[in-house]
Amino acid sequence: MIDVFDLVIVGAGPAGLEAARSASRAGRGVAVIDDNPRPGGQIWRHDPTENPPRPLQRLLNDLESRERIRFFTGHRLVAFESGPTLVLESATGRRRLRGESLLLATGARELFLPFPGWMLPGIHGAGGLQALVKGGWPVAGRRVVLAGSGPLLLASAATLLRHGARIEAIIEQAPTADLLRFLALLPRWPRQTTTALALLRRLFRVPYWRGSWVTEARGRDGLQEIVITDGRRERVLGCELLGTGYGLVPNIEAANLLGCELTPSRHPAVRVGSRGETSRPGLYAAGEITGIGGAGRARLQGALAGATAVGDHRQSDRLLGRSREAEAYARHFARHFHLGEPVRRLARPETVICRCEEVPLDRIPEIPQADSRGLRLLTRIGMGPCQGRICLHALAETRPEPFLRDWLARPRPPLFPARLETLAGPEVAHGPET
């Protein structure tokens, strides 16, 4: 059986939830699916022993009062059948949904740049560590370093601090001058300013090293110390946990599988019109998958795309103007957190690039013609459970653009590892796809 809705939204983060609110305000039947067990996405993920973040609570209260909305949390979109019908997988089974319109709000993931020792136990994504801690992962009394780039380091540090971790340092690769320029113009966006000030207030005792990066992690069975440099001097810092991440890349896989046009950037995003329309009719995208721009922009885009997707033009027109300032913030952000050359080339010949298949750098040939596909075939990079989400984006930082184009040109479903019985589906007649 296929459940049919006016609008199916993939992703229950800020963009997805706002889209659901817009669409349900217009009185339409909405399904919101998310692989996380609870709504909120990454940014509003929270410890069950704490109250949900206020914006999330308000949104959920609002959505609870609507009748025609259904949440499918703990359900992961793994494939499409013709229609497109969405094939979802949960812990126990499969489910199929279809929408008159489809809105993708699949968010972003972290960009990891491999460095010697990054496979040691004790090293996680910076946002990943924050997410784990919000799920109860114990860090009280642990010595933690957060390293990489972007405000997520600060947000993660604040969460860890609240859970009793000892933050030894936050290490930001962007130079002080860039950060100051970023901060100088920040007051143009009051919401982002408030967030930044609150974070800095909570972290005021934590050393915040700018223009520095981790070149190596060391330890026997797990992380014991890291080597940090500012490009001139190295120093060693002891720690048990390291959260690392060099910003975010859009989760475009579902949109790409549906044939949505992407931007030609190093880490492509979904190309959308001013109201969230993708290149495919009936298909909308909102939030970080359209380019990294933060939760504020994601909420606006979500509300706008959700209204547009169900044909509520009055609501859509009203929201359109507000999305421009959010776009400006996204550009401002990207300009001042761009990655320097050294952090892209930290891997040594023996450093593993593909975590899943354990492929070290020196097994990845520097064949000029070798696009992402050729490399993949020869080395198996990107062929493991993460399906290239980590290593191919890391490699894209050092290879000529557009490195990912050949990889993306031939999507290979499922979108995530999925049980054979999920993909075997119900009995269907053989015939051409429509």
Partner 1 sequence: MARDLIVVGCGIVGACIALTAQRAGLRTQMVEAGFPGGGVSAAGMGHLVALDGAELALSVRSLALWQEILERDPGPFEYRRTGTLWVAENDADLAALAQWRDRLQSAGIPAALQDAAGLRREEPALARDLAGGLLLAGDGIVYPPKAVHQFLTRALELGARIRTGRRVTALTADGVVLEGDRRLSGEVVIATGPAGSELLPELPVLPRKGHLVITEATASPLRHQIVEAGYTQGIHAPDGLSIAMNVQPRPTGQLLIGSSRENGLSDPWVSPVVIAAMLRRALRFLPGLGRVAALRTWTGLRPATPDGLPYIGRVPGRRSVWAAFGHEGLGITTAPATAELLVDLILGRKSTLDPAPYDPVRCLG
Partner 2 sequence: MNPPSVTVYVDGVAVRLPEGQTVAAAVACVNGQHRPARAGRGPFCGMGYCGGCRLRIGGEFRLACQTLLSPGLRVETDD
Cα-flanking dihedrals φ and ψ of residue 227, to 5°? Answer: -105, 130
Query: How far apart, in whole angstroms, are the C-alpha atoms of residue 178 and residue 61?
Result: 40
Write down the least CB distance from residue 274 to partner 1, Å. 30
219-241 burial: b if 16+ Cβ within 10 Å, else e: beeebbbbbbbeeeeeeebebbb
Our finding on whether 383 is near partner 1 (CB under 8 A) is yes
Q: How far apart, in Å, are the Cα atoms of 296 and each of 289, 302, 323?
A: 14, 10, 9
Tokens of 406: 């050949």
DSSP 363: G
Amino acid found at 312: D
Contact partner, 61, from partner 1, partner 2, none, Cβ < 5-8 Å per class = none
Write down the least CB distance from residue 58 to partner 2, Å. 16
- Closer Cβ to partner 1, 47 or 406, answer by number: 406
- Closer Cβ to partner 1, 247 or 402, answer by number: 402
Q: Does the bond joining 190 to the residue before it have cis omega, within 30 degrees of 0?
A: no
Our finding on whether 278 is near partner 1 (CB under 8 A) is no
DSSP 312: -
Contact partner, 122, from partner 1, partner 2, none, Cβ < 5-8 Å per class = partner 2
Residue holding tokens 């998310």? Answer: 34
- Closer Cβ to partner 2, 137 or 182, answer by number: 137
Write down the least CB distance from residue 112 to partner 2, Å. 8
Cα-flanking dihedrals φ and ψ of residue 353, to 5°? Answer: -100, -50
Q: How far apart, in Å, are the Cα atoms of 37 and each of 46, 75, 331?
A: 12, 8, 32
Comparing CA positions, the residue from 328, 281, 286 lying closest to residue 303 is: 286
Contact partner, 425, from partner 1, partner 2, none, Cβ < 5-8 Å per class = partner 1
Positions touching partner 2 (CB under 8 A) are: 35-38, 42, 47-51, 74, 76, 91-92, 109-110, 119, 121-125, 127-132, 135-138, 142, 221-223, 240-241, 355-356, 384-386, 389-390, 416-417
Query: How far apart, in whole angstroms, are the C-alpha atoms of residue 178 and residue 211?
Result: 9
- Closer Cβ to partner 2, 25 or 38, answer by number: 38
Tokens of 26: 């217009």
Write down the least CB distance from residue 378 to partner 2, Å. 22
* Among residues 13, 39, 384, 402, the one that binds partner 1 under rule CB under 8 A: 384
Our finding on whether 425 is near partner 1 (CB under 8 A) is yes
- 64-103 residues in contact with partner 1 (CB under 8 A) are 79-82, 87
Write down the least CB distance from residue 143 to partner 2, Å. 12
Which residues sit at the interface with partner 1, rule CB under 8 A?
Answer: 79-82, 87, 369-371, 373-374, 377-378, 383-385, 387, 410-414, 417-421, 423-425, 427-428, 430-431, 433
